Amino acid sequence: MRLDDLALGLGLELLGDGALEVRRVVGIEKAGPGDLSFVGHPRYAGHAATTRATALIVPPGVETPAARLVCANPYLAYARALALLHPQPLPPPGVHPSAQVDPTAELGPGVHVGPLAVVGAGARVGARSVLHAQVVLYPGAAVGADCRLHAAVQVREGCRLGDRVVVQNGAVIGADGFGFARDEQGRYHKIPQVGVVVIEDDVEIGALTAVDRSATAETRIGRGTKLDNLVQIGHSVQVGQDTVMAAQVGVAGSARIGSGVMLGGQVGIAGHISVGDGVVAVGQTGITGSIEAGRQIAGTPAMDVRSWRRNAALAPRLPELLRRVRELERRLAALEGKG
């Protein structure tokens, strides 16, 4: 693609020769002639001066021998450039002959149903959505328009996905929540899970992630939220908008997670608590009580990230502290003996 066409497509100012061609997007350390790259983080600014890339997306003021596409948010422009230079063809519309689509299911215009997929009775799929091979929609499941469900994704009975939802391979939407009542003999009896899951527009769900249905109401993932792989969302959890959860996060039943929250990998959140808007939790944080909006937390049980760092730095000094106290006791006893 010519650089002037790319600049036009991205709506960015080009400083350099618009007739140059770039063919792919490559990380700045490996980029060479014919490549587009970007400087998104200050730590890579040094690479800009020596890069062999044909063009760079950079914030204002970065020096480079490459042609420059100048942008306040280079990372976002990089995302758009990738889509322009590496368009990912979607499977063509149509239902593969090996797919099992119930006659009462409704498929919108332009829908693709891949090989050996299953669409149950009364299920609905919106316009242009793609169901890859072996996707299973249980009866009454509903998928919006322009969605993409990768191979082996399961959507259970009555669960609903909005528009432009992306679900990676093997994720399970709407399995039964973990609800059991204990009797006098200590045996557990299943609590029927008759609620649903609602996934709002523009959500992405990672591979092998499980979002459980509610016992009697809704589990809800808010608009624009992104869940990584192997995440667990318990029954009746409510997640706000534009929240991100890294891989292997676990959220127990009935917790409420705000909007704009960022959870690092392997964070655990107890049931029935609230995590306010904009909270940031370091990986492996164990959140056992409600957290006010805007806090940055770490550790188990969770505390302010600065306290956690300070405690972590001091913990190795415990043996020294013990020695110093013992020495103080010895000297004080000597002094008391003199007195």
Which residues are identified as catalytic?
Answer: 235
- Does 8 help bind its own copies (rule: CB under 8 A)? no
Q: For the segment 280-319, give every residue that binds its own copies (CB under 8 A).
A: 282-284, 286, 288, 299-301, 303, 307, 310-312, 314-319
Least separation in angstroms between CB 108 and its own copies: 22
Using the minimum distance from each CB to its own copies, give the nearer residue, 87 or 109.
87
Spatial strand order in the sheet of 24-25: 13-15, 67-70, 55-58, 35-38, 24-25
Taking a C-beta distance cutoff of 8 angstroms, is the pair 50, 108 a contact? no
Q: For the segment 55-84, give every residue that binds its own copies (CB under 8 A).
A: 73, 75-76, 78-80, 82-83
Using the minimum distance from each CB to its own copies, give the nearer residue, 15 or 166.
166
**Which long-range contacts (C-beta less than 8 Å, at least 24 apart) are formed by 143-151?**
144/201, 145/108, 148/90, 150/207, 151/114
Spatial strand order in the sheet of 142-143: 106-107, 124-125, 142-143, 160-161, 196-199, 218-221, 238-239, 256-257, 274-275
Exactly one of 150, 160, 220, 256 binds its own copies (CB under 8 A); which one? Answer: 150
Using the minimum distance from each CB to its own copies, give the nearer residue, 136 or 161.
136
What DSSP letter does each residue of 215-243 carry, written as one string? SSSEEEE-TT-EE-TT-EE-TT-EE-SS-
Q: For the segment 20-49, give every residue that binds its own copies (CB under 8 A).
A: 24-27, 30
Least separation in angstroms between CB 61 and its own copies: 19
Q: For the segment 83-102, give every residue that binds its own copies (CB under 8 A).
A: 83, 86, 88, 96, 98, 100
What DSSP letter does each residue of 280-306 carry, written as one string? EE-TT-EE-S-B-TT-EEETTTTEEHH
Least separation in angstroms between CB 274 and its own copies: 15
Least separation in angstroms between CB 65 and its own copies: 21
Least separation in angstroms between CB 332 and its own copies: 6
Neighbours of 66 (CB within 10 A): 25
Exactly one of 9, 47, 110, 176 binds its own copies (CB under 8 A); which one? Answer: 176
Exactly one of 146, 163, 200, 212 binds its own copies (CB under 8 A); which one? Answer: 212
Could you tell me which of 152, 147, 106, 111 has the C-alpha nearest to residue 132?
152
Q: Which residue stretch of 6-14, 15-23, 50-58, 213-221 sits at the interface with its own copies (rule: CB under 8 A)?
A: 213-221
- Say if residue 301 is preceded by a cis peptide, omega within 30 of 0: yes
How are beta strands 106-107 and 124-125 bridged, if at all? Answer: parallel
Q: Which residue stretch of 7-15, 54-62, 105-113, 331-339 sits at the interface with its own copies (rule: CB under 8 A)?
A: 331-339
Exactly one of 138, 146, 238, 263 binds its own copies (CB under 8 A); which one? Answer: 138
Q: Given phi > 0 = left and psi -120 to 50 = alpha, else beta, which region is 260?
A: left
Question: How far apart are alpha carbons 116 and 136 in whole angstroms?
Answer: 9
Using the minimum distance from each CB to its own copies, give the nearer residue, 18 or 333.
333
Exactly one of 54, 64, 219, 232 binds its own copies (CB under 8 A); which one? Answer: 232
Using the minimum distance from each CB to its own copies, give the nearer residue, 19 or 301.
301
Q: How far apart are the first and last CA of the chain?
A: 90
Exactly one of 57, 70, 172, 237 binds its own copies (CB under 8 A); which one? Answer: 172
